[in-house]
């Protein structure tokens, strides 16, 4: 295996070039199997774990953070070995809590961020969140309020870095400029949807990340499994009428051409999709969300693959991007 470590953008922390996403832990992967996957990820050299306060599916919001927390509680240096990222924005009150509009809505008020940070720390059984990410932008909340809140959490030792997710390029620029006015580090990372079927971030998000020194952490690198073939272990009934089926039908011709390229390379389609992302210098670590140990082991293969210029050109032809960065992509 060839896991390597790189800076998170231009910031000092070193993270593995694959990020272990935990969204399936609990809803689709048992706690026992989730523990085994996290243990194996560390053995393989993956030190970057991502979760969110809202993950848990039918088990309830916060259930995934609790699983990660119980894994940390086993000790053995687990927490010390992990660069831990979680998120805030969505309603994340646990079952039985009294409904409160400041916490049951989607926002980034100071009240909510502080409370939800404490709730995540409790569920994760840790004193510090390494990268605290805004799950979405809240354009109605003043940056004065937000950066003051994050500064307070940093001073208290509850968070180390601040990241964003699903931000537009101008949101990243605004956040970083507002932080700089206050003498703060600003954003260190951005999580965006990015894969061969969805390359919109190449217009403005990637240039903004590069300019402000953010590490890009692509989510849904396999386009919901479409770029990796049918998810193993799932019935046709489960996929019938699903987003997976709709995307597969929409991209059928492209997928056939893509899988022919992968066959020529002798690699799994999902592995090639991850390797393609890793060839972008702005990308720090795609988020992999394995449901099984086999999926984890397969994903790590992507770190060993070098795609030559011919293959990159073929992939670009099959899955064309927006034509470059703005404004050149559309203005001239």
Question: For residue 267, what are its two tokens?
Answer: 């690699």
161 tagged catalytic: no
> Which of the residues 5, 55, 89, 258 is marked catalytic?
55
Known catalytic residues?
55
């Amino acid at each position: 295996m060839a896991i390597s470590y790189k800076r998170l953008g231009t910031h000092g922390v070193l993270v593995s070039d694959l990020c272990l996403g935990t969204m399936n832990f609990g809803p689709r992967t048992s706690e026992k199997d989730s523990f085994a996957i996290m243990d194996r990820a560390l053995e393989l050299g993956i030190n970057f774990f991502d979760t969110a306060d809202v993950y848990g599916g039918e088990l309830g919001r916060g259930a995934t953070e609790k699983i990660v927390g119980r894994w940390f509680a086993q000790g053995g240096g687990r927490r010390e070995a992990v660069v831990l990222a979680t998120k805030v924005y969505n309603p994340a009150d646990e079952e039985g809590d009294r409904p409160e509009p400041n916490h049951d809505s989607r926002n980034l008020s100071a009240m909510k961020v502080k409370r939800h940070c404490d709730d995540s720390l409790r569920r994760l059984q840790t004193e510090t969140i390494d990268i605290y990410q805004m799950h979405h932008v809240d354009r109605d909340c003043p940056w004065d309020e937000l950066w003051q809140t994050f500064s307070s959490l940093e001073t208290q030792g509850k968070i180390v870095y601040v990241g964003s997710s699903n931000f537009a390029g101008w949101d990243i620029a605004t956040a970083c400029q507002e932080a700089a006015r206050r003498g703060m580090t600003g954003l260190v990372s951005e999580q965006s949807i990015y894969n061969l079927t969805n390359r919109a971030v190449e217009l403005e998000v990637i240039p903004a990340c590069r300019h402000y020194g953010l590490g890009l952490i692509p989510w849904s690198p396999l386009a919901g499994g479409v770029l990796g073939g049918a998810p193993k272990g799932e019935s046709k009934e489960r996929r019938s009428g699903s987003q997976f089926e709709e995307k597969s039908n929409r991209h059928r011709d492209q997928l056939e051409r893509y899988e022919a390229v992968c066959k020529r390379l002798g690699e799994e389609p999902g592995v090639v999709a991850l390797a393609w992302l890793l060839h972008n210098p702005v990308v720090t670590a795609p988020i992999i969300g394995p449901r099984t140990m086999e999926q984890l082991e397969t994903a790590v293969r992507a770190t060993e693959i070098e795609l030559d210029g011919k293959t990159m050109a073929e992939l670009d032809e099959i899955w064309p991007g927006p034509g470059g960065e703005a404004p050149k992509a559309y203005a001239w």
